[in-house]
Structure 1
Amino acid sequence: MFTLETVKHLQSLSARPSVTITLPTSRHAPDNQKDPIRLKNLVSEAVDRLEAEYGKRETLKLRETVHELAEGVDHEHNLDGLALFASADYHEVFKLPYRLPERVVIDDTFLTRDLVFAMNRTPQYWAVMLTEKPTRLYLGRGPDLQEVRDHGFPREYSGPGTGVTVQMGIGASPSREIERALEEFTRQIDSGLHEAVKARPFPVALVGLSENLGMFRRVSRNMELIAAEIEGGHDHLSPHDLGELVWPQMQAALRQRRQEIFGQIEQASGQGRTVTDLNEAWQAALDGQVDVMVVEENLHFPAQISGDGRHLKLLPGGEDAPGDAADAVDEMIEHVMQRGGRAVFVDDGALASHGGMVMLTRY
């Protein structure tokens, strides 16, 4: 599954020229029959630009790589978007479960803004099926769930109440021993979930009977991670059907969290932890000071980077040269994410008083 770690890896790569090609695709015929033609046209554009900007002989191998990547795509099994990345040191194609714009970018680094934007629009999340037989962990994007067999999952209860003989002292209550064992079992689930979220910081949906949900609430140290709870005995559902059940409630919870960012902006502003000036925002991103970068969905602009790398100058003509940032917003997103921050996209015009972008700093 294409994850945030994939994006961070792409952001860590640097080579000039680096080619990024993205386009929307279709899952089903006859619409997917148009995808090879659209990709071929974008590849032709990329190849022509490589020859013109970097030389025919100098880019021969890279142009061959781009052609080979495109020719290797099986369009019968497309998803909603396709992204092709190629440089002297790296080449890969990804089929993605969200739509991407039709775009060709050639720069020092790969363009990841569209990926980050798409991932924010259809974010990933964890889903935990709380049951003793067994508790399962899923990684979700939209209604698509994929079971994760890591962090101690799946985990099955095998303590008192399952036919296991347990030595108890005089006056001990069997029901209390079962409850204690179930509490310990739930703590182990909570610990495993904590490790999963630590590795991939996504919100969590809990699914289970009311007694299992109640037990989790009592013993969990990670309730702040829980975005949604779905009550009921749904452990018989397939991952597909479970995803169809969980996603609408998770979507509503995530929509509410997205609206909460404006309260966070107001609070951070009162604490002197917001930056809106272009150069201050750029420097905060470079220095790892940004906790959350809030940006309007379609804000983008090229900029000239100073010799020391610390200042930006807008290029109103829309033309960038070698050493410039084709999209300064994308560059800032990359720096923020590489340093442990996150990007949140909001509707166009929502940050008009902040110039379309605001950084919430850590201090």
Structure 2
Amino acid sequence: MHRSLTSSTLAELRRPRPYPAVTVVLPTHRREPDNAQDPVRLRNLLAEAKERLRADPAVTAERAADVSGRLDKALEEVDLVHAEDGLVVLAAPGEHQVWSLARSVPARVVLADTFLTRNLVAARAAERPYWVLAVSADRVTLWSGTPERVTEHQADGFPLTRDLEDPDAQRKERIGDLPSTFQDEQTRTFLREADQALTAVLRAEPRALFVAGEAAALSLLDDVGSAADGATPIRHGGLAQGPANAVHEAVRPALAQRAEAEQAAALKELDGAQGRKQYAAGLDEVWQNAMTDRVGLLAVEDSYRATVRDHGGHLVPAESGDLDARDDIVDEIVERALDGGAEVRFLTEGALADRGRIAAVLRY
């Protein structure tokens, strides 16, 4: 359930499906006693989805059976023992997926000709995914990271490995011609190949990059290529072999520094926009501008959630369960802003207290 939610994955999830594409969304809990009822709630939502499939006149019995079977297979893959804050189950004819989110979501069942992706989109934006390249003389690994964890990226040529044994080492040592590990041509060639592989990954999936390794390894990587230009160096050897928790711990201080700097920059941009009258604050005002693609930068407190309904073209507070209530309006705004080309930054709780907890820099 803890796969990397990439841009290409989201694009694939958002394409039209043969009806019905079923989305089941459930808030989950990490600890007892709150998590005790998660399995029951999940089974109830899946049962509701199956009942709606059977009752829908637009769904044939054969297709209802197919998608119901996919929901059953998805249930087998759910790991609530290691649950985070939200769960999304997707099922359509011939396919199913399960996604665990480090972001709370409202419970719902949706049948449509596309999957409901706004919660996935917002969760990915909030995670601010990054890459960690771990470099050594004989192994280069790439790790996909979120604030919660890193997982090894085993694709696109990674990991790169080689044998350090030099068959002519004894002769070279006798005549004093055995170069140090990070000076020989074989190592230069090896790291040049790593640089080329990294270039391709960053072109397909641009993210913040951290590069970890001994100082000599980082220096040589800079010398032989340019993919890591602008990356944050982590001078910590021994990480190319992992494990994942060691890589995550090594990068954690740099992640905290990056988040602090980005928050300060976002607040500065909001102040400047307010002075230029290119500014919106509060849920309704930001929503109005997001719907017309005027948002250039969206800033929202990470923990901010709101339930509203549309009343005469404006958002007004509502209770969950009210007719026409929209429980995930913040995620809806995030998705729409991203679709309109905006940059989205999630800030710490209280950072936007005087701005209605959500604010935007407008394009005009």
Rounded Cα–Cα distance in structure 1 between residues aligned with 2:323 and 2:95:
24
Are 2:128 and 1:126 equivalent residues in the alignment?
A: no
Are 2:256 and 1:252 equivalent residues in the alignment?
A: yes
Q: Between Structure 1 and Structure 2, how many residues are aligned?
A: 337
TM-score by length of 2: 0.69
TM-score by length of 1: 0.69
* Deviations, residues 77-128 of structure 1 (Å, cap 9, x unaligned): 44425311346x6863314263644611537664444334444554432111
Q: Contact 1:293/1:344 (CA < 8 Å) preserved in 2?
A: yes
User: By how many angstroms is 1:283 displaced?
Assistant: 0.7
For structure 1, which segment, 111-120 or 190-199, has the greater mean C-alpha deviation from structure 2 after superposition?
111-120
Correspondence for 2:239: 234
Correspondence for 2:12: 9
Name the Cα RMSD after superposition.
4.6
Rounded Cα–Cα distance in structure 2 between residues aligned with 1:270 and 1:181:
56
For structure 1, which segment, 96-105 or 137-146, has the greater mean C-alpha deviation from structure 2 after superposition?
96-105
Correspondence for 1:169: none
* Deviations, residues 13-43 of structure 1 (Å, cap 9, x unaligned): 487885432232669x999885432211223
User: By how many angstroms is 1:71 displaced?
Assistant: 2.8
Correspondence for 1:143: 149
Rounded Cα–Cα distance in structure 2 between residues aligned with 1:179 and 1:248:
32
Q: Contact 1:33/1:75 (CA < 8 Å) preserved in 2?
A: no
Are 2:289 and 1:284 equivalent residues in the alignment?
A: no
Correspondence for 1:199: 204
- C-alpha spacing 1:102/1:164, structure 2 compared with 1 (3 Å): farther
Are 2:334 and 1:329 equivalent residues in the alignment?
A: no
Q: Percent identity?
A: 21
For structure 1, which segment, 175-184 or 92-101, has the greater mean C-alpha deviation from structure 2 after superposition?
175-184
Rounded Cα–Cα distance in structure 2 between residues aligned with 1:228 and 1:320:
52
Rounded Cα–Cα distance in structure 2 between residues aligned with 1:325 and 1:90:
30
User: By how many angstroms is 1:332 displaced?
Assistant: 2.9
After superposition, residues 342-357 of structure 1 pair within 5 angstroms as 342-357=343-358
- C-alpha spacing 1:117/1:347, structure 2 compared with 1 (3 Å): farther
Give the secondary structure class of the aligned counterpart of 1:350. coil
AA paired with 2:96? E
Rounded Cα–Cα distance in structure 2 between residues aligned with 1:292 and 1:213:
34
AA paired with 2:69? E
Rounded Cα–Cα distance in structure 2 between residues aligned with 1:362 and 1:194:
31
Rounded Cα–Cα distance in structure 2 between residues aligned with 1:221 and 1:266:
35
User: By how many angstroms is 1:295 displaced?
Assistant: 1.8
* Deviations, residues 295-339 of structure 1 (Å, cap 9, x unaligned): 233243445499xxxxx4325445565xx9764433332233335
Rounded Cα–Cα distance in structure 2 between residues aligned with 1:233 and 1:302:
51
Rounded Cα–Cα distance in structure 1 between residues aligned with 2:56 and 2:46:
15
Rounded Cα–Cα distance in structure 2 between residues aligned with 1:185 and 1:341:
38
Rounded Cα–Cα distance in structure 1 between residues aligned with 2:66 and 2:269:
45
* Deviations, residues 161-187 of structure 1 (Å, cap 9, x unaligned): 95689xxxxxxx997995787666545
After superposition, residues 162-201 of structure 1 pair within 5 angstroms as 178=183, 186=191, 188-201=193-206
- C-alpha spacing 1:100/1:2, structure 2 compared with 1 (3 Å): farther
AA paired with 1:300? A
- C-alpha spacing 1:340/1:314, structure 2 compared with 1 (3 Å): closer
User: By how many angstroms is 1:272 displaced?
Assistant: 6.3
Are 2:47 and 1:38 equivalent residues in the alignment?
A: no
AA paired with 1:331? E
- C-alpha spacing 1:45/1:350, structure 2 compared with 1 (3 Å): farther
- C-alpha spacing 1:84/1:283, structure 2 compared with 1 (3 Å): same
Q: Contact 1:145/1:239 (CA < 8 Å) preserved in 2?
A: no
Are 2:76 and 1:74 equivalent residues in the alignment?
A: yes
Give the secondary structure class of the aligned counterpart of 2:139. coil
Rounded Cα–Cα distance in structure 2 between residues aligned with 1:32 and 1:326:
21
Give the secondary structure class of the aligned counterpart of 2:137. coil
Consecutive unaligned residues in structure 1, runs of 5 or more: 166-172, 307-311
- C-alpha spacing 1:240/1:186, structure 2 compared with 1 (3 Å): closer
Q: Contact 1:147/1:239 (CA < 8 Å) preserved in 2?
A: no
Are 2:163 and 1:154 equivalent residues in the alignment?
A: no
- C-alpha spacing 1:148/1:293, structure 2 compared with 1 (3 Å): farther
Rounded Cα–Cα distance in structure 2 between residues aligned with 1:97 and 1:327:
14
Q: Contact 2:122/2:335 (CA < 8 Å) preserved in 1?
A: no
Give the secondary structure class of the aligned counterpart of 1:358. strand
Q: Contact 1:130/1:207 (CA < 8 Å) preserved in 2?
A: yes
Consecutive unaligned residues in structure 2, runs of 5 or more: 170-176
Correspondence for 2:172: none
- C-alpha spacing 1:327/1:220, structure 2 compared with 1 (3 Å): same
Rounded Cα–Cα distance in structure 1 between residues aligned with 2:221 and 2:276:
35
